[in-house]
Amino acid sequence: MTRVVAVCTSEKKGTRKAKIAAGILAEDYGLVDDAHADRTTHRQVSLLASESINRMRDLGFDVAPGDFAENLTTKGIELNSLPVGTRLSVGEEVTLEITQIGKECHTRCAVSKQIGDCIMPKEGVFARVIRGGPVRAGDRIERIDNLSE
């Protein structure tokens, strides 16, 4: 089953995020109280697959959800293979639209400084919040093929 493994937030950009029990994704804004939430960007929410984190663990790195500054850690979906424009339903209310695959790191993040590599630039994705609502670990994620929503 494709689902949310963790919801993560931070007060400052460029740092690891802490797991929280639940959060609110606000329409056209992002995760409420997160440093990256912003109405002026297409990168309102970041997502990273737990499978990517597990590959780093297999290399011997002590990493966990939130360590790569992602808001939502997922399981069961190959995020970086989704085309820009793909919409995802998260939980009962939330709709996200993929806006960017990977990113260019202008400054090395905390994880990159600690372990020498970061997977967000290659495997993370960014989305804008089309429809907001609550989000928590265990929420189902489904790809929405009908973009008429």
As given in the structure block, the two tokens for residue 107 are: 């400054």
Tell me what the mean pLDDT of segment 92-111 comes to.
77
For residue 74, give the DSSP letter. Answer: E
CA 71, 77, 79, 84 torsion-angle sign: negative
User: Tokens at residue 34, please?
Assistant: 């997160």
Stated pTM of the model: 0.88
The residue that leads in pLDDT, 28 or 58, is 28
Q: Where are the domains of the chain?
A: 3-142
* Record: fold of 3-142: M1 Pyruvate Kinase; Domain 3 (2.40.33)
